[in-house]
Amino acid sequence: MSEEEVELEARLAEQDEFEPPASFVEQANVSDPGLYEEFGENWPECWEHAADLLEWSDGYDQVLDDSNPPFYEWFTGGELNASANCVDRHLDERGDEVAIEWVGELGETRTYTYEDLHEEVNAFAASLRDLGVEEDDVVTMYMPMVPELPIAMLACARIGAPHSVVFAGFSADALATRMNGADSEFLVTCDGYYRRGEPLEHKSKSDEGVSGVDHDVTSVVVDRLGDDYDHPTIEGDHDYDSLVADHAGETVEPVPRDAEDMLFLMYTSGTTGQPKGVKHTTGGYLSWAAWTSQAVLDVKPEDTYWCSADIGWITGHSYIVYGPLALGTTTVMYEGTPDYPDKDRLWEIIDDYDVTQLYTAPTAIRSFMKWGKEYPEKHDLSSLRLLGTVGEPINPRAWKWYYKHIGGEDCPVVDTWWQTETGGMMVTTLPGVGNMKPGSAGPPLPGLDVQIVDTKGEQVEAGRAGYLTVQKPWPGMLRTLYKNDERFIEEYWAEYSDTDSDDPDDWVYFPEDGAKIDDDGYITVLGRVDDVINVSGHRLGTMEIESAIVGVEGVAEAAVVGGTHDIKGEAVYAYVITEDGYEGDDDMRERIVAGVEDAIGPIARPEQVVFTEELPKTRSGKIMRRLLEDIANGEELGNTSTLRNPDVVTEIERKVKGD
């Protein structure tokens, strides 16, 4: 390092507050600090600003109907179509401009202008109708990052059929559970995709999933691998390309949807073993995705914006598909891994396409850091104007590395806290307004009432840890869990609300995150306080993993916790007791890993499987997870005298350390 660099490094290491770069503020979509006050004073009407970003076929009567909390309704009486908003309305002004830039892993590219997107979305919407999809039928998508995925989502939205996208890395079982849960009779899937240059088969996994669905399924298969894979077919399969060719040139009128009609379902993990079907609506969700894209990601139509998430998660829904396309910008989609063919793949794409914003996850940033600054240095990244992160807390060191080596100290970094249920961003700085404090997400967005409280619901003092709560509704919020209002209340509201009240002030949303707030209102999110762990920004339920492990022959009992991991944030640690007559050997370990992969997918694969005779339990028989976490993290163990079986702790500790 040169002397100058050493100096800079030292300055960055000390600095804990950064002003937004003046060059950014000058051109920012939002640069007026008065917005916080304005929205606060004019709530809930302030959210008309979000609705105004959309085109409504019929105007709404009321911004918020809060007469039946927590079943809030937004923009009631309004009608709109999400596909028309993301495609049709840009045709006049931006028909020839690029909507989707797709980069395949092998280096092939596809460019869809808004005109192209309109054509293909219409042809596929006509195909879906032809297959019998009707308004309100749930269509499942089980696909990797191919352009047909957003096209299918928009085609569904066009005909008023909610979609339910299942991450392609999930297992066949996970697909079946979600299709059964959503009563979904239609599936759009794919023969496979490329990973590290090699074809990866997907169709047989998909077929296996379908065989676990308890009703008939009609499938459409996208042929991504061509001659590289002669994929199997099953009854009810249709070929995507043939359908689209048959319906080429047809147009399908976008179906006007009520603001509160379901746009999509997205399954996510919770405390119990059963994934939750989060319901998002057409008016509120789309307004939220558009408004936050504009205010936080500073998206403008002329941008080439890139969110490197997978569309199989909420981040991809809101910030690859709906937010950016609603604003008429160019959204980049990359099929593959960030280190194929080399570790500069992202920087190469940014350089090639003059990408203006990059939105990624802390786990990715930590990998980039490990690979070294020489990779970004090989490329011209000066097109970048803003950087964002999401998915888990970002450590200040990774934040600063991102700010310096990717943003060239010229781009604001937005650390955005939100979750599947919130539909879009909730806590973050506005990049053209607030100072950035690495490690702290920032204040709640204007118009949001976020408070950090103790177990009784009282606000905690500045600097103290507490629980993050949202005290007022917002347009992007989930409306319920699919066909399960009771669980919706139980999971998100029961903790801090008076559930007998019909006064909205008595209802408080609890996202199950711990946090602390500083004097200046900046919020540092500390992580989940329920049995959910966050592996590489992916949310996994420990109960789901445990039930997969207990399903393996010879396993008597299992406890799963998250242990800290340098790159992934958290990693899965499984503590397992075998049944009599079974050995905790390598074969057993392999079968456990395979069991988890089959039930959930490789993302949930345990990093460590520790066989033990007993699990540490309290006298009342509850597993002491906190202790198992401490062991996984190699931390000093607190008092173990309250345990029924304190000796087991030393034994487990020894095994984890590998002594």
Binding site for ligand WT7 (CB under 6 A): 268, 313-315, 390-393, 415-420, 441, 511, 513, 525, 527-528, 534, 539
Query: Which residues does 333 contact at the CB level (< 8 Å), separation at least 6?
Result: 100, 101, 102, 103, 145, 147, 150, 311, 320
Compare residues 63 and 450 and give the one whose CB is closer to ligand WT7: 450
Beta strands in 461-596 (DSSP E): 465-470, 513-517, 523-528, 532-535, 538-541, 555-565, 569-578
How many other CB atoms are there within 10 angstroms of residue 176's CB atom? 19
Compare residues 393 and 447 and give the one whose CB is closer to ligand WT7: 393
Compare residues 192 and 439 and give the one whose CB is closer to ligand WT7: 439
| CB 70 to ligand WT7: min, Å | 18
Q: Which two tokens stand for residue 619?
A: 């006298």
Burial of 637 (0-12, 13-18, 19+ CB in 10 A): middle
| CB 5 to ligand WT7: min, Å | 29
Compare residues 39 and 418 and give the one whose CB is closer to ligand WT7: 418
What is the rounded distance in angstroms from the CA atom of residue 77 to the CA atom of residue 65?
10
Distance (Å) of CA 312 to CA 166, 169, 317, 320: 6, 9, 8, 11
| CB 469 to ligand WT7: min, Å | 12
Map residue 516 onto helix, strand or coil: strand
| CB 323 to ligand WT7: min, Å | 12
| CB 570 to ligand WT7: min, Å | 10
Main-chain dihedrals φ then ψ at residue 224, nearest 5 degrees: -85, -35
Residue with tokens 């558009």: 290
| CB 266 to ligand WT7: min, Å | 9
How many other CB atoms are there within 10 angstroms of residue 17's CB atom? 11
Helices marked H in 332-469:
345-353, 362-371, 374-377, 396-401
What is the rounded distance in angstroms from the CA atom of residue 325 to the CA atom of residue 638?
51
Compare residues 294 and 534 and give the one whose CB is closer to ligand WT7: 534
Compare residues 12 and 307 and give the one whose CB is closer to ligand WT7: 307
Compare residues 63 and 600 and give the one whose CB is closer to ligand WT7: 600
Burial of 633 (0-12, 13-18, 19+ CB in 10 A): middle
Compare residues 237 and 392 and give the one whose CB is closer to ligand WT7: 392
Compare residues 117 and 309 and give the one whose CB is closer to ligand WT7: 309
Main-chain dihedrals φ then ψ at residue 465, nearest 5 degrees: -80, 145
| CB 419 to ligand WT7: min, Å | 3
CB 649 within 8 A of CB 656: no
Query: Which residues does 229 contact at the CB level (< 8 Å), separation at least 6?
Result: 191, 192, 199, 201, 203
Compare residues 60 and 167 and give the one whose CB is closer to ligand WT7: 167
172-181 vs 203-211: helix axis angle to the nearest 10? 50
Compare residues 364 and 555 and give the one whose CB is closer to ligand WT7: 364
Compare residues 120 and 421 and give the one whose CB is closer to ligand WT7: 421
Q: Give the residue among 292, 295, 299, 298 at the shortest CA–CA distance from 314.
A: 292
| CB 511 to ligand WT7: min, Å | 5
| CB 424 to ligand WT7: min, Å | 9
| CB 137 to ligand WT7: min, Å | 25
The amino acid at residue 261 is: D
| CB 331 to ligand WT7: min, Å | 17
The amino acid at residue 492 is: Y
Q: Give the residue among 541, 539, 547 at the shortest CA–CA distance from 561.
A: 541
| CB 300 to ligand WT7: min, Å | 23
Distance (Å) of CA 125 to CA 163, 260, 340, 574: 13, 21, 34, 45
What is the rounded distance in angstroms from the CA atom of residue 392 to the CA atom of residue 336?
22
| CB 422 to ligand WT7: min, Å | 8
Compare residues 254 and 541 and give the one whose CB is closer to ligand WT7: 541
